[in-house]
């Protein structure tokens, strides 16, 4: 109960919030903190005008290293009284000491992950168009959450919400960075009414890396206890994360999730955690794909270390502990109940796709020839489709036009997750319409039902639910009109191919266009209980707080022990996201997240010097993966239906969760003959060469 209470407090409306002034007040708290707004007729004049702005700074000692921030006399926010934002705890560690002291094997390590950033293809940007004559504001935004932008703007400016319209068109990626309005965007909203003309701001890449928010940057002391056969007896994580000066959104929930999900998809009888979030004088922590990813990184890296210490193959250690379908539902020791997942099944499928035993033989032969190959495995389980609070419902409007064509209106828009494709498929299936007859309108708050947008791997299941609820209303209406006109019982009407026909007599029927003509233009001929028109709005609320999804990632690599270079050889993902609405979309989402995870291990780092200056604010310094670093990703699928509509689950975030530990473990496996433990990221060539230097071990 204590853990659950803390979790709900972390998510709830009473969580303390860090004030976020649009422009710095009194103190500049990180390099990139906005201090002035310059508006001009074009960008070139504005950038010249920026050079005329003079600011007198009085240097203060910065708090840069979050690991020592709790002991620093300097405070990032003086009014807070400490650099500790929040601490959440599971069971007291001493409650598990008996298990650890009597266990046959105890393995512990401290694992570190560097800061990196979402780096969407398109940076943030918005146009604010305020009309002084009507008092209305239209905002064109690169966002994942148009309705949240609307609510935020209304609160910020004290405007009636119905006077604000937000339009989201195709957005070139968000990955969590665009689920909240940030401070520079607030400035543009505030400027609009004062200027009375449209105001546009589009960040450049340097601004994005400087001020749009970082992610990851965390570490934890982790340990596990095992019996003599390798069965896990207990698990502990003491986690700390850097949240920068202005974390957005409130970071407590993800820190709690790291602790609560640390046992993962394994049989773990007992566990405890501590999660701490820390202020520093660096850019604020922002949401990022798979925000609790560290629990999987820490656990899976520790399992490989444990296997080597026990003289066991890492695959066999996992096999002995992974949950099976016949054990579900399974409550993990922190109170999280897993159901409708398939950890052992995805694991075995992934190893079969690789031919794990054959790779081990190839690895042994390569070592004899002086080549160092490695294989890394990572299993995870994560919650998708959060069913509470702001995320707890989703709406859809479907209108069959007088022509018989179908428009479906949903809140979220295209942010690289192909909702514009899947919602059309879902609607066509739910109505019995031809797919070419269906189109979608998204991301315009003036015409779409309220919704929470793209976040939390929620789009597939929630949109399916909303479309299903709405289509059911129209199906009933279409069937009633057709049965009345054809003078047959309603139960004999079938809807397919944009047509209502009589079962067993397919030549007898009416097209959607003919039904629409009746509904709109001949209402007097409709059954008494059927209203005119063919438009409906429905809203779906899930019965479950979360829908769980799991996967296994397997990576093989070769490490050059002279240069420290890592070449990925094969990459396999076996995913259980339930039935797939569109396999191409599912695999595209898995691949995109996986590539981000690979980049986070081998290349990316949002680094600061000891004075708090960012040193990687261009793509010359902040390195991204390209096709030369990433192998073809091989996909396997296991389909365990969820309790949600259509049995669908979320798939958007998993690749970014499973990839980092799989790559780390592959590198560590390649270097195992040298007795190397990999515990710090990123794995740059220089770091790998350093690990191989006997003087550093």
Q: Is the pLDDT of residue 633 over 90?
A: yes
Closest CA to 386 of 446, 459, 445: 459
Query: How many C-beta neighbours within 10 Å does residue 41 have?
Result: 8
User: Number of H helices and number of E strands within the chain?
Assistant: 17, 22
Give the model's pLDDT for residue 79. Answer: 83
Token pair 């494709």 is at which residue?
Answer: 421
CA–CA separation, 238 and 244 (whole Å): 19
CA–CA separation, 530 and 537 (whole Å): 15
CA dihedral 657, 660, 663, 668 (to 10 degrees): -120
CA–CA separation, 498 and 516 (whole Å): 11
CA angle, 157 then 161 then 165, to 5° = 95
Give the model's pLDDT for residue 674. Answer: 96
Joined together, the tokens standing for residue 284 give 């604020």
CB-CB contact of 556 with 374 (8 Å): yes
Task: State the first-to-last Cα distance of the chain, in angstroms, to the nearest integer.
Answer: 44
Q: Is the pLDDT of residue 238 over 80?
A: yes
Q: Is the pLDDT of residue 1 over 50?
A: no
Phi-psi region of 44 (alpha: psi -120 to 50; beta: other; left: phi over 0): alpha
CA–CA separation, 384 and 649 (whole Å): 7
Q: Calculate the alpha carbon distances from 504 to 456, 492, 510 in Å.
A: 44, 9, 15
CA–CA separation, 367 and 466 (whole Å): 55
Mean pLDDT of 28-44: 96
Mean pLDDT of 203-212: 96
Give the model's pLDDT for residue 254. Answer: 87
Interstrand relation of 633-637 and 199-202 (parallel, antiparallel or unpaired): unpaired
Radius of gyration of the chain (CA): 27
pLDDT tens string 439-449: 999 999 999 99
Give the model's pLDDT for residue 696. Answer: 62
Q: Is the pLDDT of residue 317 over 90?
A: yes
Closest CA to 273 of 287, 289, 256: 256
Q: Is 552 exposed, middle or buried (0-12, 13-18, 19+ CB in 10 A)?
A: buried
Q: Calculate the alpha carbon distances from 593 to 154, 174, 573, 588, 597 in Å.
A: 34, 12, 11, 9, 6
Q: Is the dihedral of CA 304, 308, 314, 320 positive or negative?
A: negative
Work out the percent of the chain whose per-residue pLDDT is above 70.
97
CB-CB contact of 190 with 128 (8 Å): no
CA–CA separation, 461 and 451 (whole Å): 13
Backbone angles phi, psi at 21, to 5 degrees: -70, 140
Q: Is the pLDDT of residue 695 over 90?
A: no
Stronger pLDDT, 545 or 488, i.e. the higher one? 488
DSSP string, 4-29: HHHHHHHHSTTS------SS--S---
Q: Is the pLDDT of residue 9 over 60?
A: no
Q: Is the pLDDT of residue 6 over 50?
A: no
Mean pLDDT of 198-211: 96
CA–CA separation, 128 and 200 (whole Å): 6
CB-CB contact of 157 with 189 (8 Å): yes
Q: Calculate the alpha carbon distances from 316 to 236, 310, 555, 571, 668 in Å.
A: 22, 11, 16, 20, 17
Q: How confident is the model at residue 250 (pLDDT cuts 50, 70, 90)?
A: confident
3-class DSSP state for residue 474? Answer: helix
Give the model's pLDDT for residue 14. Answer: 44
Give, as one character, the DSSP assignment of residue 543: S
CA–CA separation, 677 and 531 (whole Å): 70
Query: How many C-beta neighbours within 10 Å does residue 637 have?
Result: 19
Give the model's pLDDT for residue 7. Answer: 42
Q: Is the pLDDT of residue 183 over 60?
A: yes
Give the model's pLDDT for residue 68. Answer: 97
Q: Is the pLDDT of residue 386 over 90?
A: no
Mean pLDDT of 49-58: 94
Q: Is 412 exposed, middle or buried (0-12, 13-18, 19+ CB in 10 A)?
A: buried
Neighbouring residues of 330: CB distance < 8 A, sequence distance ≥ 6: 267, 323, 337, 338, 339
CB hemisphere CA count around 198 (13 angstroms): 9
3-state SS record for 329-359 = CEECCCCCEECCCCHHHHHHHHHHHHCHHHH
Give the model's pLDDT for residue 16. Answer: 53
Mean pLDDT of 170-192: 94
Give the model's pLDDT for residue 2. Answer: 45
Q: Is 89 exposed, middle or buried (0-12, 13-18, 19+ CB in 10 A)?
A: middle
β-partners of residue 87 are 276
Mean pLDDT of 600-624: 96
Give the model's pLDDT for residue 12. Answer: 47
Mean pLDDT estimate for the chain = 94
Closest CA to 213 of 200, 224, 203: 203
Helix, strand, coil percent values for the chain (each to nearest 5): 35, 25, 40
List, in sequence order, the alpha helices (H) in 246-293: 252-261
pLDDT tens string 477-507: 999 999 999 999 999 999 999 999 999 999 9
Q: How confident is the model at residue 387 (pLDDT cuts 50, 70, 90)?
A: confident
β-partners of residue 494 are 501
CB-CB contact of 180 with 170 (8 Å): no
DSSP string, 115-158: EE----SS--EEEEEEETTTTEEEEEE--S-HHHHHHHHHHHHT
pLDDT tens string 549-560: 999 999 999 999
């Amino acid at each position: 109960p204590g853990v659950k209470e803390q979790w709900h407090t972390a998510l709830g409306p009473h969580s303390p919030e860090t004030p976020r002034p649009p422009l710095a007040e009194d103190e500049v708290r990180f390099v990139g903190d906005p201090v002035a707004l310059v508006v001009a007729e074009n960008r070139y004049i504005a950038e010249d005008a920026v050079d005329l702005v003079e600011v007198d700074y009085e240097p203060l000692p910065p708090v840069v290293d979050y690991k020592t921030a709790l002991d620093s006399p300097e405070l990032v926010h003086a009014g807070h009284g400490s650099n500790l934002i929040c601490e959440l705890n599971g069971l007291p560690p001493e409650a598990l000491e008996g298990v650890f002291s009597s266990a046959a094997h105890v393995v512990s390590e401290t694992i570190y992950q560097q800061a990196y950033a979402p780096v969407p293809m398109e940076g943030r940007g918005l146009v604010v168009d305020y009309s002084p004559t009507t008092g209305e504001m239209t905002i064109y935004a690169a966002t994942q959450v148009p309705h949240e932008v609307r609510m935020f703007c209304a609160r910020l400016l004290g405007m009636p919400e119905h006077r604000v319209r937000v339009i989201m068109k195709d957005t070139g990626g968000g990955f969590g960075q665009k689920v909240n309005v940030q401070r520079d965007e607030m400035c543009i909203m505030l400027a609009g009414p004062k200027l009375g003309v449209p105001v546009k701001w589009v960040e450049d890449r340097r601004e994005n890396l400087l001020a749009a928010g970082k992610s990851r940057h965390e570490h934890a002391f982790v340990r596990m206890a095992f019996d003599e056969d390798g069965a896990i007896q207990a698990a502990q994580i003491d986690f700390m994360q850097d949240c920068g000066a202005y974390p957005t959104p409130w970071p407590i929930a993800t820190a709690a999730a790291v602790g609560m999900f640390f046992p993962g998809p394994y049989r773990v009888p007992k566990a405890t955690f501590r999660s701490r979030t820390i202020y520093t004088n660096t850019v604020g922590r922002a949401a990022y794909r798979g925000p609790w990813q560290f629990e999987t990184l820490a656990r899976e890296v520790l399992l490989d270390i444990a296997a080597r210490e026990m003289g066991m193959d890492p695959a066999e250690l996992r096999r002995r502990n992974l949950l099976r379908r016949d054990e579900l539902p399974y409550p993990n020791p922190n109170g999280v109940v897993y159901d409708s997942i398939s950890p052992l099944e995805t694991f075995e499928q992934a190893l079969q796709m690789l031919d794990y035993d054959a790779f081990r033989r190839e690895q042994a032969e390569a070592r004899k020839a002086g080549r160092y190959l490695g294989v890394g495995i990572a299993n995870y389980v994560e919650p998708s489709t959060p069913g509470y609070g702001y995320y707890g419902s989703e709406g859809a409007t479907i209108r069959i036009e007088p022509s018989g064509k179908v428009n479906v209106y949903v809140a979220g828009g295209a942010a690289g997750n192909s909702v514009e494709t899947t919602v059309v498929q879902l609607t066509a299936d739910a109505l019995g319409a031809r797919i070419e007859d269906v189109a979608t309108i998204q991301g315009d708050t003036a015409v779409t039902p309220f919704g929470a947008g793209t976040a939390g791997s929620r789009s597939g299941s929630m949109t399916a639910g909303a479309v299903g609820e709405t289509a059911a209303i129209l199906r009933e209406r279409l069937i009633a009109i057709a049965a009345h006109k054809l003078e047959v019982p309603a139960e004999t009407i079938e809807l397919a191919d944009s047509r209502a026909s009589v079962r067993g007599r397919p030549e007898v029927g009416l097209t959607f266009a003919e039904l629409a003509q009746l509904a709109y233009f001949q209402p007097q001929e409709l059954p008494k209980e059927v209203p005119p028109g063919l438009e409906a709005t429905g809203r779906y609320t899930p019965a479950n707080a979360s829908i769980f999804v799991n996967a296994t990632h397997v990576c093989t690599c070769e490490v050059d022990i002279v240069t420290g270079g890592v070449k990925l050889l094969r990459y396999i993902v076996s995913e259980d996201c339930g039935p797939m609405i569109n396999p191409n979309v599912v695999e595209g989402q898995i691949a995109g997240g996986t590539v981000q995870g690979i980049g986070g291990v081998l290349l990316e780092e949002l680094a600061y010097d000891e004075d708090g200056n960012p040193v990687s604010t261009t793509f010359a310094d902040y390195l991204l993966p390209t096709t030369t670093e990433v192998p073809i990703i091989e996909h396997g699928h296991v389909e365990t239906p969820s309790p949600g509509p259509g049995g669908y689950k979320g798939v958007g975030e998993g690749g970014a969760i499973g990839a980092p530990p799989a790559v780390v473990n592959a590198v560590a496996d390649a270097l195992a003959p040298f007795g190397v433990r990999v515990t710090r990221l990123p794995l740059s060539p220089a770091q790998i060469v350093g690990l191989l230097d006997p003087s550093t071990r």
